[in-house]
Structure 1
Amino acid sequence: MNYRHAFHAGNFADLVKHAALLQLLGRMTAGAGPLAVIDTHAGRGLYDLAGPEARKSGEADAGIVRLMAARDAPAAFAPLVEAVKALNGGGPVRRYPGSPWLIAERMRAQDSYLACELRAEEHAALRDLLKGRPNVSALCADGYAMAVERCPRQGAVLVLIDPPFERADDYARIVATVAGVRRKNPLAQLLVWLPLKDLETFDAFLRDLEDGAQAPALVAETRMRPLTDPMKMNGCALVLVGGPEEMAPTLEAICGWTAQTLGDRGAGRVHRI
């Protein structure tokens, strides 16, 4: 697989995914019980926005840099903004945190985090980043398989599924993973990120997920532009399986602001399946 997230770190899709992730983590760590988090496609965990990849794409300038300068961003973005500020010492945005950094920073003593990354080079960087943190581990393995195998049978569980979508079977494997995790632990929550290219592909995935997951789900769409060219990434979507209905207004705020402020005739919508 040739995908390298360094080109895309801090783009609009990261803002949507990470703002929602932090809001969900905040809810799930508010209770007294332990939380187990599994990240199926973790990446390297921390990205240099001054590096050649990020500078070449310019996606961070159109994403996190604009968010940090915005005065009208909804409160749903506040945890992400604060995390980026802390990472950069309150100065210019030169580094952007991936999901491993954001999750590991919020783990309590009783929580655990398993970050899976199949690419050897990315895994090596991830392992070094997370080294020394208690109850946090980085595994060079198939994250889909590990999500089901390592999912605890009881207690609070959050599985983040965010593949690069370079394989033809990614959509099918997501459905199978969601079903497998939910069979093992019916209380598990799963947050799935997907690109929005064309509605036919997306709607087919949602139908398969609805049949396989056997659990209610919130679907949050960030349409950055009209979905008229299936060769382009026209937006992104989050699917929260088994999560609280109370997340809907938060997701609406995140998707709506991103699409309307950073997009071209963009719009956000949240619905249930």
Structure 2
Amino acid sequence: MFSYRHAFHAGNHADVLKHTILVHLLAHFEQKETPFWVIDTHAGAGVYSLEGEWATKRGEFAEGIGRLWDRTDAPPAVAAYLEAVRALNPDGRMRRYPGSPFIALARLRDRDRLRLFELHGNESEALANNIREAGRDAQRRTIVYADDGFAALKALLPPPPRRALVLIDPSYEDKRDYARVGVTLRDALTRFPTGCYAIWYPQVQRRESRELAFKLTRMRGVSWLHASLTVRDPSPDGLGLHGSGMFVVNPPWTLHASLQQSLPWLVKALGQDGGARYVLESAG
């Protein structure tokens, strides 16, 4: 269903949704002078070439960031996301795509910190190399752990500044990841109930995917927001990614209004057939 390495999928429609929300969350954390941490449980390589063999093999970015690259009418949240990607491409050509770690790194202030987990050996090594190449300030703010983010997250909670954004976005190649997301989130909330947790999930023709979204939206006792973007009807062969969702625990109050603007626009911009739609719901 998925290839583990995110380079195959970098900049696709799922990244557009995930990173539009991530940029908004980071901007919210920056509004207070108090430092914060960003913790990514499945960080990948951090930055990806859109001209490399992996990205061009499937060309998924063409149906994601590629559709938006030259648009000048994007709503504010999507425009902020596009600005983050364009900052990595100063010549104006769409060559590189920043993963979540590098989107976060670009927003960190002097006392903010980035903690990255990546279990896959090649990806972890590439991530560490990319952080080193980003310079001394990036290295000073960042620690890369070649570890299982599900299991290791608990050691970082609560973080010293008591402010953190935790991104949980496994590949879900292993169907056990769906259950581990729920277990990890519940444990994290017992250790650090005031943290902001952003969980990404794929829309695929798999029972576990549907059940995860349902279970997350049935959470009680916490404030949450659920946004999904479906770009097409499921394929007849049952393969591929037809959409994705983000579930945010303890979201900023501004996120819902922002997505009310962004999601209808993204449906029109990224929709591939009559099945394109969005969901936006919240509680707490």
What is the CA deviation profile of residues 233-272 of structure 1, one whole-angstrom value per residue up to 9, with x for unaligned ones?
2100000011123211222333332222211221112012
What is the deviation of 1:2? 4.9
Classify 1:100/1:200 alpha carbon distance in 2 versus 1 (closer, same or farther; 3 Å).
same
Q: Partner of 1:268 in structure 2?
A: 278
Code of the aligned partner of 1:147 = L
What is the CA deviation profile of residues 200-253 of structure 1, one whole-angstrom value per residue up to 9, with x for unaligned ones?
544422443356674221110101123575533210000001112321122233
Q: Partner of 1:220 in structure 2?
A: 227
Q: Partner of 2:216 in structure 1?
A: 209
Q: Partner of 1:43 in structure 2?
A: 44
Code of the aligned partner of 1:190 = Y
Q: Partner of 1:20 in structure 2?
A: 21
Classify 1:139/1:39 alpha carbon distance in 2 versus 1 (closer, same or farther; 3 Å).
same
State the secondary structure of the residue aligned to 1:113: strand
Structure 1 vs Structure 2 CA RMSD: 2.1
What are the ranges of 5 or more consecutive residues in structure 2 without an aligned counterpart? none
TM-score between both structures, scaled by the size of structure 1: 0.92
1:147 aligns with 2:153: yes
What is the CA deviation profile of residues 20-39 of structure 1, one whole-angstrom value per residue up to 9, with x for unaligned ones?
10111000121011111110
Code of the aligned partner of 1:141 = D
What are the ranges of 5 or more consecutive residues in structure 1 without an aligned counterpart? none
What is the CA deviation profile of residues 94-144 of structure 1, one whole-angstrom value per residue up to 9, with x for unaligned ones?
111111111111111121110111111111111111133222111100011
Q: Partner of 2:259 in structure 1?
A: 251
Which shows bigger deviation, 61-70 or 185-194? 61-70
Code of the aligned partner of 2:189 = R
1:67 aligns with 2:75: no
What is the CA deviation profile of residues 172-204 of structure 1, one whole-angstrom value per residue up to 9, with x for unaligned ones?
111111111111111101001111124954442
What is the deviation of 1:12? 0.9
State the secondary structure of the residue aligned to 1:60: helix
What is the deviation of 1:42? 0.4
State the secondary structure of the residue aligned to 2:31: coil
| Distance (Å, rounded) in 1 between the aligned partners of 2:174 and 2:220 | 21
| Distance (Å, rounded) in 2 between the aligned partners of 1:228 and 1:58 | 17
Classify 1:60/1:203 alpha carbon distance in 2 versus 1 (closer, same or farther; 3 Å).
closer
Code of the aligned partner of 2:281 = H
Code of the aligned partner of 1:269 = V
State the secondary structure of the residue aligned to 1:56: helix
* Conserved 8 A contact 1:222-1:268: yes
Code of the aligned partner of 2:245 = A
Q: Partner of 1:162 in structure 2?
A: 169
Report how many residues are paired: 273
Between the two proteins, what is the percent identity of the paired residues?
A: 34
Code of the aligned partner of 1:90 = D
Equivalent of residue 240 in structure 1, options 234, 248, 267? 248
TM-score between both structures, scaled by the size of structure 2: 0.89
What is the CA deviation profile of residues 61-111 of structure 1, one whole-angstrom value per residue up to 9, with x for unaligned ones?
221122111132211112221122221113211111111111111111121
What is the deviation of 1:49? 0.5
Classify 1:210/1:270 alpha carbon distance in 2 versus 1 (closer, same or farther; 3 Å).
closer
State the secondary structure of the residue aligned to 2:62: coil
